[in-house]
C-alpha cells in the first residue's frame, strides 16, 4: 500500500536537455508555484539516485520578460547564471511560436534569438570586473590576480577564475579545480577555467564549475574566458571557445555585454514520481 505522503505529492514533469554536453534538467513552473527546494535540487542532480545534471533550470513567470529562470547546482546551491541552460530554456520558449525571447535572471533581463543555422544566441549581460562585484575577498588587480599563475577574475555574474596556460590538456583539472573553487580570495567560491590560446580568435577551455565539478562546457565560463583573453591582450573581442563538448561563439561587445551562440539538444521528457518526491528531506 502506498504511504499516505506519496498520495499528496503529484508527479513533477521535467525535460532533459544539453548544450555541448553541459546537461540540464528543465522544470517549467509557469503554471504554479516553484516546486524546487535545495533538497529536491540535490536529489534530482544525483546521477545514481536521481536524474543527474550539471545545472537545474526552473522556468517561472515574469512581469517584465517572457519568463524568468532560476538556476541550481547539483549540490543544491543556487547558481547566479548558466549560459548554456539559458540557451536551452530559450529554445523551449521559442517552440511556442517566438523567434526571440527575453528572460529575467539574476544578471538582469537577457535576450535570446534563433540564428539562421539553428543555433541559439543569447546576450549574457555585462561582465563584472570590479573586485567588489565579482566578488573577491579584497581589492586587487582583476586582470592579473596576486595568485600563482596570475589568473584573471570575471563575474558573469557567477565568479570565474581564469588561468591561461601553455598546454591545457596537461592540467590536473580534478585536483586544481576544487583547490581554486574554495580559495579564500573567493568568498562565494568560484568557477575555474584553464585556457590555452590557439589563435587570436580561438581558445581551448577546460572547466571546473563550483557546486558541480568538471563539466564538458560552461556558457558563463566561456563568456568569462573571452573577456579575460581581451583584458590580458591575448585575443580579439570575437572568439571561438573550444570546450570538451564542442564550440561556442563569443563576442565581448563595446557596451560591455557578452554574447554567446551555440547549439542546444533536447534529450527526453519525464516525470519525477510521487515516491521520489516523498522521500526528500526538506
d(C-alpha 53, C-alpha 76), whole Å: 11
Residue 211 exposure: Cα atoms within 13 Å on the Cβ side: 27
Catalytic residue positions, numbered = 82, 218
Q: Give every CB contact of residue 166 below 8 A, 6+ residues apart in sequence.
A: 196
Helix (H, G, I), strand (E, B) or coil at 101: strand
CA–chain centroid gap for 75, Å, is 14
Q: How many CB atoms lie within 10 A of CB 171?
A: 18
DSSP state of 127: P
- Sheet strands (E) in the chain: 12-19, 22-28, 55-60, 67-73, 78-79, 100-105, 108-114, 120-126, 152-155, 159-164, 191-199, 202-209, 213-215, 238-243, 246-252, 257-262, 265-272
Residue 226 exposure: Cα atoms within 13 Å on the Cβ side: 32
Amino acid at each position: 500500500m502506498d504511504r499516505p505522503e506519496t498520495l499528496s505529492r503529484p508527479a513533477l514533469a521535467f525535460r532533459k536537455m544539453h548544450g555541448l554536453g553541459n546537461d540540464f534538467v528543465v522544470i517549467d513552473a509557469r503554471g504554479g508555484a516553484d516546486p524546487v527546494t535545495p533538497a529536491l535540487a540535490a536529489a534530482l542532480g544525483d546521477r545514481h539516485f536521481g536524474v543527474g545534471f550539471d545545472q537545474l533550470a526552473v522556468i517561472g513567470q515574469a512581469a517584465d520578460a517572457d519568463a524568468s529562470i532560476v538556476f541550481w547546482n547539483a549540490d543544491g546551491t543556487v547558481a547566479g547564471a548558466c549560459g548554456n541552460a539559458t540557451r536551452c530554456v530559450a529554445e523551449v520558449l521559442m517552440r511556442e511560436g517566438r523567434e526571440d525571447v527575453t528572460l529575467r535572471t539574476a544578471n538582469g533581463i537577457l535576450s535570446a534569438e534563433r540564428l539562421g543555422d539553428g543555433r541559439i544566441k543569447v546576450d549574457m549581460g555585462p561582465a563584472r570586473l570590479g573586485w567588489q562585484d565579482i566578488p573577491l575577498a579584497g581589492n586587487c588587480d582583476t586582470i592579473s590576480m596576486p595568485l600563482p599563475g596570475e589568473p584573471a577574475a570575471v563575474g558573469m555574474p557567477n565568479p570565474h577564475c581564469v588561468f591561461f596556460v601553455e598546454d591545457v590538456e596537461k592540467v590536473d583539472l580534478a585536483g586544481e579545480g576544487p583547490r581554486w573553487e574554495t580559495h579564500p580570495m573567493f568568498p562565494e567560491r568560484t568557477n575555474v577555467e584553464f585556457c590555452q590560446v590557439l589563435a587570436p580568435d580561438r581558445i581551448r577551455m577546460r572547466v571546473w564549475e563550483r557546486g558541480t565539478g568538471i563539466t564538458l562546457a560552461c556558457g558563463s565560463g566561456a563568456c568569462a574566458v573571452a573577456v579575460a583573453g581581451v583584458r590580458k591582450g591575448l585575443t580579439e573581442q570575437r572568439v571561438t571557445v573550444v570546450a570538451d563538448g564542442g564550440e561556442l561563439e563569443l563576442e565581448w561587445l563595446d557596451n560591455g555585454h557578452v554574447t554567446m551562440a551555440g547549439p542546444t539538444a533536447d534529450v527526453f521528457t519525464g516525470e519525477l514520481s510521487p515516491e521520489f518526491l516523498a522521500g526528500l528531506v526538506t
